[in-house]
Structure 1
Amino acid sequence: MPHAVFLGASRGIGLHTVVTLLGSTTTAQWTATLLLRKPETITADPRFETYIKDGRVNIVQGDATSEADVRKLFPAGKKVDLIVTSVGGAPQVTWTGFTIDQPELCKDSTLALLHVLASLDVPIPRIVAVSSMGIGENHKVLPFAMRILYEYTLSVPHRDKEALEHLFLRASTKLTPPTKLPGGNFLPSEAIQSVRDSFVPELIIVRPAMLVGGDEPPKGKGTTKVAEDLSTYTVRRSEVGRFIAEECVPGQDQWVNKLPVVGY
């Protein structure tokens, strides 16, 4: 069975991805290891009861920013085919716009993951990292209204996503990071230099449109748009999870070493 490792699968896109991947009847039967600060978010979810009982889901309690905890996801002798990281803080609304409760979570968890992977004497799995529409050069292809909205209300969480992208692009063997650094000193040079460059052969950075809805099911591939230069507005979390589980797994190579935007 192919095996996937998930960071940030307790809710949102990560949760929808693992549910879709495990429940697929059209792809190989996957197993998964989930790193969770609060395992009860999954163990209490009836959708996972059978998978846990059958050994298809393994839960590791820990923090995605801790290298010691992340290392537990890669035990000796266990082949990993896919890593999905959708780590993100909880959004909060302030008088200056949207912020997040852990404004450096994406940066710190990316550093931890890349440090651990660089120390392993095994082939590096495909990595799928969830970012956001409007990051970096992608900002200029946003619809005008979204450009204004993102610039003035999402600067704090987007700075963290910019750091995530910069670090993963540094580690990629095919892609290169932009020369402009996110948020001035937010990503210091010593943090960048601590990441081994050009060692991740297969990277997909998914840039969802503005996330809407709760647990509504995805509309499906036929109604979803995906392109690196896509100008769009919204997308359901479940849709992004479906896209990753169906179109970003090994054997589906259209988006490898690309930064696709997903929206309606």
Structure 2
Amino acid sequence: MKVLLFGASRGCGLEAAVQLVERGYACTVFLRDPNALDARLKAADPALVSVIKGDAFKADDVRAAFESIQGGPDIVVTSIGGRPAFGQNVFSPPLVPEKICERASQILLPALQKSTIEQRGGKAIRLIVVSSSGLGKVGHQELPMAMKPMYGWMLKHPHADKEQLELAVYHAAGLKHPDPSIEAHASAAISPAAEGANTATATLQEFIMVRPAFLTDGPRTEGKYKADPHLVSWTVSRADIGQFIAKECVDKDSKWLNQAVTVGY
């Protein structure tokens, strides 16, 4: 099984890469700076870890990452995301870089489609996306009461960006977003044809939208987490999101296929 990971220099993507390699999956890590490769991956079996240098905002770089894997990847994991700039506005900090998830999806989804057609002869590539809990009207209602102000104000801009990411994925799969309040905010920029996708052919056949609860740097708990499309949860560690991806998202018969699932304690 061959896995291509974007955003795996840190956080959930890194934890997923480490645990996928532990399970024997061959992982190609896409990094702006190859020197940023985590020590755990540097120490892993070199037959299971490859690094490709590139910028997720450059279509040629992203296509090259797919083409570097003979026969194309079986799985793509993206955990690309920005950080709120609290120094600029503590109550509603802007996202840095701006619209990072939306912009990256406009490059990634067409490249995935191209690889599906040209490298894999139409065989599906599964896309695993790290999004967030608390998105949209439905997600906000499912948050613990005490967390709603933080998600509504402090994380307003990062969550708006995640909503556009989710919309891009659902639309690439030929689906409407299950939360009408998110669907209503669809941007014209999320069209999967943006970077030359072949709209005459099915684009995204398999995806899993992973929606972590509020992320912490806690340890891997070996199964303490819970997962459900409508889970009400406070927190989850990045290590356990990596565990969830490595254990429950890559299996051929994953029960989470083509849906969004919230993961937390």
Please indicate the TM-score interval, normalised by the length of the shorter structure: 0.7 to 0.9
Aligned partner of 1:218 in structure 2 is 220
The two structures have a TM-score, normalised by structure 1, of: 0.87
Cα distance in 2, alignment partners of residues 163 and 255 from structure 1: 21
Cα distance in 1, alignment partners of residues 253 and 239 from structure 2: 19
* 1:237 matched to 2:238: yes
What percent of counterpart residues are identical? Answer: 32
1:139, distance to aligned residue in structure 2 (A): 1.7
Aligned partner of 1:102 in structure 2 is 97
Aligned partner of 2:207 in structure 1 is 203
Deviations 1:74-101 (A, max 9, x none): 2274231110000011333133334331
Letter in 2 for 1:41: A
Cα distance in 2, alignment partners of residues 239 and 55 from structure 1: 25
* 1:13 matched to 2:12: yes
Matched ranges for 1:31-110 at <5 A: 31-42=26-37, 45-51=38-44, 54-75=46-67, 77-93=70-86, 94-110=89-105
* Structure 2: unaligned runs, 5 residues or longer: none
- Secondary structure (helix, strand or coil) at the match of 1:48 reads helix
* Structure 1: unaligned runs, 5 residues or longer: none
Mark the CA change 1:125 to 1:231 in structure 2 (over 3 Å): closer, same or farther. same
Deviations 1:199-255 (A, max 9, x none): 212110000001122xx421121x211101111111111111110011101335111
**Number of equivalences:** 250
Cα distance in 2, alignment partners of residues 191 and 127 from structure 1: 16
Cα distance in 2, alignment partners of residues 158 and 72 from structure 1: 29
Cα distance in 1, alignment partners of residues 209 and 162 from structure 2: 11
* 1:146 matched to 2:147: yes
- Secondary structure (helix, strand or coil) at the match of 1:259 reads strand
Mark the CA change 1:183 to 1:147 in structure 2 (over 3 Å): closer, same or farther. farther
Q: Is the contact made by 2:208 and 2:260 (CA closer than 8 Å) also made in structure 1?
A: yes
- Secondary structure (helix, strand or coil) at the match of 1:74 reads helix
1:67, distance to aligned residue in structure 2 (A): 1.0
Q: Is the contact made by 1:170 and 1:198 (CA closer than 8 Å) also made in structure 2?
A: no
Cα distance in 2, alignment partners of residues 50 and 22 from structure 1: 11
Q: Is the contact made by 1:81 and 1:250 (CA closer than 8 Å) also made in structure 2?
A: no
Mark the CA change 1:18 to 1:166 in structure 2 (over 3 Å): closer, same or farther. same
Cα distance in 1, alignment partners of residues 259 and 212 from structure 2: 13
The two structures have a TM-score, normalised by structure 2, of: 0.86
Cα distance in 2, alignment partners of residues 88 and 245 from structure 1: 20
